[in-house]
Structures are given as C-alpha cells and as structure tokens.
Amino acid sequence: MNDLVKLTRDSDIGVITINNPPVNALSPGVPEGIEAAIQTCCEDLSVKAMILIGAGNTFIAGADIKELEKITSGEKPFDGAMFRLFPAIENCSKPIIAAIHGTALGGGLETALSCHYRVAVASAQVGQPEVKLGLIPGAGGTQRLPRLTGLAKAAEMCAGGELVSAAEAARIGILDQLVDGDLLQGAIAFARQVIAKGSLPCKTCDREIPPCDPQAMSAIKHAFAKRARGLVAPQKAIEAVEAASLPFEEGIQREAELFSECLFSEQSKALIHVFFGEREVSKIPGIGKEGSKLPIRHAAVVGAGTMGSGIAINYANAGIPVLLKETSQEALDRGLAIIRKIYTAMVQRGRITQAEMDQRWRLIQPTLNYDRFIEADIVVEAVFEGMELKKQVFAELDKVTRPDAILASNTSTLDIDAIATATSRPQQVIGHHFFSPANIMRLLEIVRGKETSPQVIATSMALAKTLKKVGVLVGNCNGFVGNRMFGPYQREAQFLVEEGARVEEVDAVLVDFGMALGPFAVADLAGLDVAWRIRHESQHLVAQGTRQPLVLDTLYEQDRYGQKTGAGWYRYPEGTRRAIPDPDVQQLIEDKAQQAGLVRRDISKVEIVERILYALINEGAKVLSEGIAIRAVDIDIIYLYGYGFPAHRGGPMWYADTVGLNRIYERICQFEQQHGVEWAPAPLLKKLAESGKKFSDLDRDRSLKRGLITEVE
C-alpha cells in the first residue's frame, strides 16, 4: 500500500492498519492507501472479510484540516481522494468492519459509517465535531448517520458536535458490538461470525432511516436556533441531515452543496484560524524546547478570595498539592467554602465522582502562615490589587521560599517589574493572569517581566497546558494585552451611554455581534469595586485633559458593585443573575451627561459596534507594534478565551482583517476628529491600511523573518 496504510492477514481476513501518527488523520496518502488495500483484498479470493483499524492510540480522529485550508485558499481543487474512498468502502463486495479505539471523529466516523459493521472498545468515543470548525460532515456523514440512529439523534450529533461514548453509540445504533479485551482479536471474532452467516455486506446507504418522533426533530431545531447564536454551520448540519429523507444520491448531493457553502464561509475560516491559533500561541521565539523547564510538584497560592480559590482548584484538578494561605481564619473559611461549593456542584452534575472530589479536596491545604512554603516550586499571589500590598507579599515570599521557586502574580493590571523589585530574584518573577471564574476560563495570560528568565517562561507555558489552560505570553504594561485593550472597549461603552444610547441597548448590540456578554453585564460580573480599584491604581497614567467616564465612581460610591451586591449598571433581583435595566442608573447617566454639557442623540447599532470594537482593535494594533503581544493571533486567542469574543469571528484582529483595515482606519480618523485624541489611530494600523495589508499578513511575515520557532510543550 504505502507507509501510511499497511495490509496484513489473519488467515482469511485482511487487516488494514492506518499508521499516520499522531491521530491517523485522513491526510493525503491515507485514503489512497485504504482504497488500494481494499482493492488488493477484493482481488484475492482467499480474503473473506476486512478489518479497518488504527495503529497507536486511536482510530481516525478526523480529516486533515491543513488540507481544508488549501482548498479554501484555492491551492487545491475541492474533490479529494477522501470523497472517493467512502463509496469504495461501501460498495465493496466483501464485508469491511471498522474496529474503533480512541476516537472516530469527523471524517474518521464517516469512514466507519461507510464500513459495513462497526465494533469498538468501551473507552472509544465517536462524533461529528465539524461544526466546531464552522463545517458540516461533508463525506456522507449527514446521510449515513441518520440511517443508523434516526434523524433526531443524527441532527443532534452533527449540529452539536459533541462526542458520544461507545456505550451510547452502541445504544443508538452506530456500533454493532462492544469488544472486551483486545480490539483486533474481538474484531476478527466478529468478522468470522459475519463470514459464517454468509450474507452480503450490509450497506449503510441502503438502510431505511429508523422512525423518529417528529416532535424530537422540531425540539432539536428549536434548541439549536436558540443556542447557535449567529452560527451558520449547526443550522446547515440539521438541513443536511433532513435531506437524508431523500434518495441517498440526492441527499449526498445536497450535503455536498451545504458543505461547500460552509467551507467557503467567513465563519469557517475564522474558526479554522482559531484552531491553528491555539497551537500557534505556544510557539515562543527564543525560548528553547529542551531541558528548559522546572518541575512543578508543589504549589502555593496566597489569598483565598475569588481568584485564589479558583486558582487552587486548577492545581488540585491537575493533581498538584497546593497550599492556600490567608490572613485570617474567617477569610480562609470563606475561600474553602467557595471551593467546596464548586466541587459539590461538579459532583452533582456528574462531572466528577465523590471520590475524585475527596481526592482533589485533600490536595488543597489551607494555612495561615508560610511554614510550608519552602516546599513550593511555584507560588501564585492573588491578594487585593494594590502595588504596596503586592510588594509586601513578594518581599515575604522571597524570604520563605526556595531561591529556585517561581513567584507569580495574578495581578490584572500592575507592573510586574515593579513587583519584582521587592524580591532578590526578579528572574523568577512572572505574571500568571488567570481569568474569572479561574476554574472555568481557559485563558492564562503569562506576563514576562524584563528580567524573567527563559526557564521560568518555558515552565509557565508548559504549566498552562498541565492546568488545561491556553497560555499566551505577553509583555509587561498596564493591563498587559487583555485588560489594556479592554480599557478603551469599556470606555467607549460608557461614552456611548453618556451620549444617548441605553445600557441595555449597548449590551444587546454586542451580544448580537456574538459577545458572550455585553460590556456592562461583564462589568457587573467582574465587580465595579474591582474596576474602581484598578482605575485608582492607574490614575497617574491618565493623560491630562482627556475625557473620563462620568458614572462609574458614583456607582461605586453608592455601593453598587454589580452582581455581588445585587446592583451595578443593572439591578439583580435577590439571589438571581437576571440583569434588569435600572431607571435610577439611567437617570444618573442623563444627569451627569447634562452637567457635562453633552447633548443626547440617537445612536445607531452600527455606531455602537464600530465605536466599541474599533477602539479595541486600535489598542490591539498599539499592543502589537510595541511587542506586548507576539502576534495578532495571540490577541485573538486572548479575547476568545478570556473575554467571550465570538470564535466564529476569529478574534478582534482577525475580525478587523475581515472588515478591512482601510475602512477601520478611516472610521478611526473620523472618530478622532469627532471625539478627540484618545482616538488617535495606531501607526501600525495606518501603515497596514495604506499598504493594503492585514494583521494576518504581519503574522506571516514576522514568523518567516524569525525563521525557526520552537514550540514549548
């Protein structure tokens, strides 16, 4: 066959093994190899059946996404060998059995569906996750799957993209048998039963679709219309599955049309950019791969507030014992209660077992002193946001920890270099900026101080993976990448309500755009007290004479801290997170605006989007040109995983590329004329706009210039 696909024999059974590590993707050569192996077996009269199996850890985990990119960029035509493979399998006159372990995903499950039978080990999982890349199954998945499971279940799997366990897959008709013990031996035994029956191979395409409750289908359509929020692929996936009611060839034709629409859509391109971006951000120029990491076996967290308790959970979840220090028993108990509540909810939802909770709980060791900090390989500080306090804590940590221990701060805005001066080891000091809720949000902004050592950076990037986070390395400045850009974003939201928009209107427009929450709802969630503290800590950085938001300080003075006090920009009925627009806040805004001489006007939705997002993008361009972010895609990943930016828009910088930098630059120049100096366009944006380039061009040029970039694993 070829290096990727091997054909061996077990007496009268041909065993076709795919060996394309790490995930046996259907890269060029794999479909051709399978097809050739089938051909050989068909021509050999002594072969009675075939088994298709994956070498290594998995069956086929999907199509090769790089190949899809080649199609959309015009590098390759749209009909690949993959599309010929499935009919070749299905129409084979000898039975072919897919033997599944690991995962059979996307094109992998489609391969299995075109086989005549499917067996799997109990730990296997199957799924059609194409929607996560803005696609639908495009090689018969939407037509064959419903012929096994019924329309509703297939629609749910194709539109939701979630994985299904082997037991569930057997229950809903995808698998014919679960195998105990060795997969290949089990599959061979199954094949012998099939041969013994002597019946012709059972083609999936010839099967009748099992009947399904029409209400179940409409419930799924309704649920996805609500859940998908602007995403095109889930709706198209449902449409394609419904086409399975047509004769098979017509259904396949319809699937191909819908697949093509998705493949060339902006949404899919954005989601594929995100898929690769997540991997790209771990490549750090100048940081070696080999032998550069410190082992992290013991951790400590200082401060058991909102963030500290969530950070401790991250360590415990990764199996790393973690000391959790507070200043008083009362504060410690409060933090432990938060942790217990989070774990209890996980047990109740079936996410972990009680035994797992107990084990993780034991790894969190509360303390009121530094006695055992000598054990810690890393300490994460998460005390209140104040430079003096942070310096005091770091000076203490410098004394009580081993000299090789990493000292990380979870500060959301403060100068890491200034914090490091409180220690005798600035090379060991770094920012580990977790996002709230720290046990859930996937982003870890890793802030490099001017003296932070490459070893500490490499260790931090690797640690992010251990903690199941996406680590993005950023430079040190006020707010780093995420919060620095969030400043202008929040500023414009506030200016817009002062000029005439309503709080709930601004939020609704941003949610319509795809943000998880609008700017005011986010502010209420994060806490207006936190925002106030940050504002006051960085007051000295505010340029004289620039326009400042009018209302935030008053809300803080009125103890309106957001959700935590039941009132902020919105009101929250007792015990709920339901944001209700508050006429008192509206009145306050109007009064303050009038006092400031602002004349209220109607503000269009387009202006709301442009003002808020272009402010974000303009700051992003500054961050990029200053080298605070390594690449534009790093900013995108930060906004997707830390700030609820919609993945199908690819992140703020990718979104800017899709709008066109020229258009954005022009609008920013107009805003500068109308609103003043804070809108001064970033020189990098001007340069790119004038040369007709994109941020993604800049990323490509930069990585080419750097040559070899090593990935920190």
Among 130, 176, 326, 524, binds ligand NAI (CB under 6 A): 326
Among 307, 339, 630, 640, binds ligand NAI (CB under 6 A): 307
Distance CA 501, CA 601 (A): 8
Phi and psi angles of residue 397, each rounded to the nearest 5 degrees, phi first: -60, -35
* Residue 453 DSSP label: -
Among 114, 410, 428, 455, binds ligand NAI (CB under 6 A): 410
Among 57, 185, 218, 327, binds ligand NAI (CB under 6 A): 327
Q: Which is nearer to ligand NAI, 523 or 608 (CB)?
A: 523
264 binds ligand NAI per the rule CB under 6 A: no
Question: With contact defined as beta carbons under 8 Å apart, do 182 and 82 qualify?
Answer: no
Distance CA 22, CA 434 (A): 30
Catalytic residue among 32, 35, 90, 130, which? 130
Distance CA 581, CA 593 (A): 18
Q: Which is nearer to ligand NAI, 327 or 658 (CB)?
A: 327
Least distance (Å) between residue 646 CB and ligand NAI: 21
Among 299, 393, 506, 684, binds ligand NAI (CB under 6 A): 393
Least distance (Å) between residue 327 CB and ligand NAI: 5
Q: Which is nearer to ligand NAI, 310 or 650 (CB)?
A: 310
Distance CA 349, CA 25 (A): 33
Any idea how long the chain is?
A: 713
Concatenated DSSP letters of 235-282: HHHHHHHHGGGS-HHHHHHHHHHHHHHHHTSHHHHHHHHHHHHHHHTT
- The number of beta carbons lying within 10 Å of the beta carbon of residue 366 is 16
Among 302, 462, 474, 685, binds ligand NAI (CB under 6 A): 302
The footprint of ligand NAI on residues 478-537 (CB under 6 A) is 526, 530
Q: Which is nearer to ligand NAI, 46 or 369 (CB)?
A: 369
Mark residues 424-443: x for contact with ligand NAI by CB under 6 A, - for none: ---------xxxx-------
305 binds ligand NAI per the rule CB under 6 A: yes
Among 303, 487, 620, 650, binds ligand NAI (CB under 6 A): 303
CA distances from 347 to 340, 352, 356, 378, 487 (A): 11, 5, 9, 29, 37
Q: Which is nearer to ligand NAI, 53 or 302 (CB)?
A: 302
Catalytic residue among 32, 35, 90, 110, which? 110
Q: Give the DSSP H/E element, type plus range, for residue 167.
A: helix 166-171
Question: With contact defined as beta carbons under 8 Å apart, do 114 and 144 qualify?
Answer: yes
130 as an active site residue: the answer is: yes
Among 282, 306, 423, 618, binds ligand NAI (CB under 6 A): 306
Among 182, 384, 440, 604, binds ligand NAI (CB under 6 A): 384
Least distance (Å) between residue 328 CB and ligand NAI: 7
Q: Which is nearer to ligand NAI, 135 or 323 (CB)?
A: 323
Phi and psi angles of residue 48, each rounded to the nearest 5 degrees, phi first: -105, -25
Q: Tokens in use for 496?
A: 């817009």
Dihedral Cα 331, 314, 431, 398, nearest 10 deg: 60
382 binds ligand NAI per the rule CB under 6 A: yes
Orientation of helix 503-513 relative to helix 482-499, angle to 10°: 130
Q: Which is nearer to ligand NAI, 267 or 413 (CB)?
A: 413
* Residue 115 DSSP label: S
Q: Give the DSSP H/E element, type plus range, for residue 553.
A: helix 552-557
Phi and psi angles of residue 302, each rounded to the nearest 5 degrees, phi first: -105, 120
Q: Which is nearer to ligand NAI, 251 or 310 (CB)?
A: 310
Give the binding-site size for ligand NAI (rule: CB under 6 A): 26
- Pairing of β 164-165 and β 443-448: unpaired
Among 102, 140, 161, 308, binds ligand NAI (CB under 6 A): 308
CA distances from 324 to 227, 276, 367 (A): 38, 36, 6
128 binds ligand NAI per the rule CB under 6 A: no
344 binds ligand NAI per the rule CB under 6 A: no
Place of tokens 């060991």: 428
Residues forming a β-bridge with 118: 98
Q: Kindly list the catalytic residues.
A: 110, 130
Residues that bind ligand NAI (CB under 6 A): 302-308, 325-327, 331, 382-385, 389, 393, 410-412, 433-436, 526, 530
